[in-house]
Amino acid sequence: RTKVADELFGVPKGVYVCFFTEMWERFSFYGMKALLLLFLIQHHKFGDKIGLDVLGAYGGLVYCIPVIGGLLADRYLGMRRAVIFGGLLLVLGHAGMAIEGSEATVVNGVVTRDEGALRFFYVSLALIIMGVGFLKPNISTIVGKLYADNDPRRDSGFSLFYAGINLGALFASIICGYLGQTLGWSYGFGAAGIGMLLGLLQFLWGQKYLHGHAESPNTQSLRERVLGIPREALIYLTSFIGLVPIALLLYAVANQRFAIGGEISLAKVLMIAVMVAVLAWYLWFIATRCTPVQRQQMIALMALIAMTLVFFTLYEQTYGSWVTFTDRMLTKDLVPSLVQAGTGEIRMTGSFMEQLTTFFVHAPWSIASLLLAPLAFMVSAQVSDRNPHSKLPIMLFGGASVLMIVFLLRDVLTLPQTAGSLTFLGALFIILLAPVFTGLWGWLDKRNLNPSKPVKASLGLLFAGLSFVPLIYAANSAGASGELASVWLLALAYLILEAGEMCLSPVGLSAVTQLSVPTVVSLMMGTWFLATAFSEMLAAQFGKIAALDIPDGQAVNMAEAGYKYVELFTLMLWIGVGCAIVALLLAPALR
């Protein structure tokens, strides 16, 4: 489908547009996520349990709405419009998050919170949830659409796209995670918002390179009037109205309203209802709307999605229990220049101006390089539009990439770390491992040893389980000695986990666009993310095993904390290993 003139270095230009849009989107998403739990616990003083509940409800909803965003794009909007609308909502949401309000006060155990600021907070989260719902599944399907059905380059297109995701996540942790915990929460959240704004502008500029592959299936129907309003406007309007129940739900979770009993709440019941509805739709669809071959493909896809659910349940501990664990029980001295507080809260020392200076001495390079790569692409694309044989694009793009790597390493090696910013380790290993795995699969392929997709997915689960081993060791030793354990154990855990993610996630994204019946591909992409929605919720529930009740201003009881984290991490280990064995046994049938 794509003409040579629309490619840059063998990749359709539209893929780069998606790459950079998603890079910025994930920058804002993960930047905010790196801070969210700590913000709830340390700023609004919700405590571990409610903090995890809000994180779980947010994560659940944010990966749930893509089903609707995908469906609306498939049937009415087309992906391009959905991405722009989602981007706008995201910019608004991240801007709203920058209003942090005043820190909660605790007097005789009674917590007083800034309820006004919290109202903004719930609405902002709702905007982000809705925005991701429209943007994330659709930007991913556009990548698939830019390749012809049997184009062998599709998998590598998705590997590239996945690198974009993690490049965004990497810079996000370093910039937003760091800023939020040192200068102040609103700086971290605000930086996330600026990132998303740049992403949106870049997409608006680059949409010409999608060449109609992301348009509405029926533009006529968009203009049709329903209830007196054009359908397109009605969709946008309804989405805005939909923000109200989402914000209320988050409010209810944070204030423990509508708790039906024990750990069962309205939010969880709703999520389970959605899951049942999607499963019912899915069964109906494969029973009545598929040819026999399509049916087999869709069943295989659903099995892959089920494995993803387990994988991300383990993976999402990284933004929950791993963050609090790092904050409480690990040294942060990945680099010698570190300013380190004891257990509990990590703050940079010094006045506001000194902290600001520290940041600008160290991190403008990250910011600069984040701007550099998309700019290099924009110029390169224009140059090659005029002269497809020009050597200038490769020089520009290559130069920008090299500078980016140098700048990034400089920041990683010199910037002090916090529990929030250390989430960068995950993204870093993904990016480092991506070429290793591409090479490995290629090498195995030549020898006819390349494992099938189901086997790769099982390996993903196995690695996810094993990643908890170093953390069990860390929790044990910190608990026993009362001293902080080494942060390098966290780095090792991330390395193993990300090897797992490489086996499962990019492979899965590509499989969705390949195995799904074409008319419902965005919806299946939504379902792929829906699996993560449940993972997020489950992860938060499991995370509560290690929830601590730390009275304000008091230090962590290391022995108690160590014991609880060991319990949680051991359970995760066995879930991962157990499910990997089951999946491996099923693999031959799925193939």
26 binds ligand GLN (CB under 6 A): yes
User: What is the C-alpha separation between 252 and 510, in angstroms, rounded?
Assistant: 37
Distance of closest approach, residue 351 Cβ to ligand GLN, in angstroms: 36
- Whether 215 and 145 have beta carbons less than 8 Å apart is answered as no
Q: Pick between residue 178 and residue 315 the one whose CB is nearest to ligand GLN.
A: 315
User: What is the C-alpha separation between 132 and 121, in angstroms, rounded?
Assistant: 16
User: What is the C-alpha separation between 177 and 421, in angstroms, rounded?
Assistant: 4
Distance of closest approach, residue 312 Cβ to ligand GLN, in angstroms: 5
Helix (H) or strand (E) segment spanning residue 11: strand 11-12
Distance of closest approach, residue 425 Cβ to ligand GLN, in angstroms: 13
Q: Pick between residue 312 and residue 463 the one whose CB is nearest to ligand GLN.
A: 312
Q: Pick between residue 381 and residue 490 the one whose CB is nearest to ligand GLN.
A: 490
The CA-atom distances, in angstroms, between 299 and each of 295, 302, 304, 555 are: 6, 5, 9, 51
Site string for ligand GLN, 269-308 (x = CB under 6 A): ----------------------------------------
3-state SS assignment for residue 231: helix
User: What is the C-alpha separation between 215 and 259, in angstroms, rounded?
Assistant: 43
- Whether 588 and 582 have beta carbons less than 8 Å apart is answered as no
Kindly give, in sequence order, each residue whose CB lies less than 8 Å from that of residue 521, ignoring residues fewer than 6 positions away.
74, 141, 144, 512, 513
The CA-atom distances, in angstroms, between 334 and each of 174, 299, 471 are: 13, 45, 16
> Which residue is at the shortest CB distance from ligand GLN?
532
β-bridge pairing 229-230 and 105-107? unpaired
Distance of closest approach, residue 542 Cβ to ligand GLN, in angstroms: 16
532 binds ligand GLN (CB under 6 A): yes
Distance of closest approach, residue 529 Cβ to ligand GLN, in angstroms: 6
Distance of closest approach, residue 528 Cβ to ligand GLN, in angstroms: 7
The pair of three-digit structure tokens given for residue 551, joined into one six-digit string: 């009275």
Size of the site for ligand GLN (CB under 6 A): 6
Distance of closest approach, residue 119 Cβ to ligand GLN, in angstroms: 28
Count of CB atoms within 10 A of residue 586's CB? 15
Q: Pick between residue 24 and residue 529 the one whose CB is nearest to ligand GLN.
A: 529
> Would you call 108 exposed, middle or buried from its count of C-beta atoms within 10 A (0-12, 13-18, 19+)?
exposed
Q: Pick between residue 216 and residue 522 the one whose CB is nearest to ligand GLN.
A: 522
Distance of closest approach, residue 429 Cβ to ligand GLN, in angstroms: 12
165 binds ligand GLN (CB under 6 A): yes
534 binds ligand GLN (CB under 6 A): no
Q: Pick between residue 173 and residue 532 the one whose CB is nearest to ligand GLN.
A: 532
458 binds ligand GLN (CB under 6 A): no
Considering only residues 480 through 519, tell me which ones interact with ligand GLN, judged by CB under 6 A: 505
Q: Which of 151, 150, 137 is nearest to 7 (CA)?
A: 151
Q: Pick between residue 26 and residue 544 the one whose CB is nearest to ligand GLN.
A: 26
Q: Pick between residue 195 and residue 393 the one whose CB is nearest to ligand GLN.
A: 195
Backbone angles phi and psi of 105, in degrees to 5? -115, 150
> Would you call 109 exposed, middle or buried from its count of C-beta atoms within 10 A (0-12, 13-18, 19+)?
exposed
Q: According to CB under 6 A, which one of 312, 441, 463, 468 is a site residue for ligand GLN? A: 312
Q: Pick between residue 26 and residue 213 the one whose CB is nearest to ligand GLN.
A: 26
Distance of closest approach, residue 214 Cβ to ligand GLN, in angstroms: 19
3-state SS assignment for residue 260: strand
Site residues, ligand GLN (CB under 6 A): 26, 165, 312, 505, 529, 532
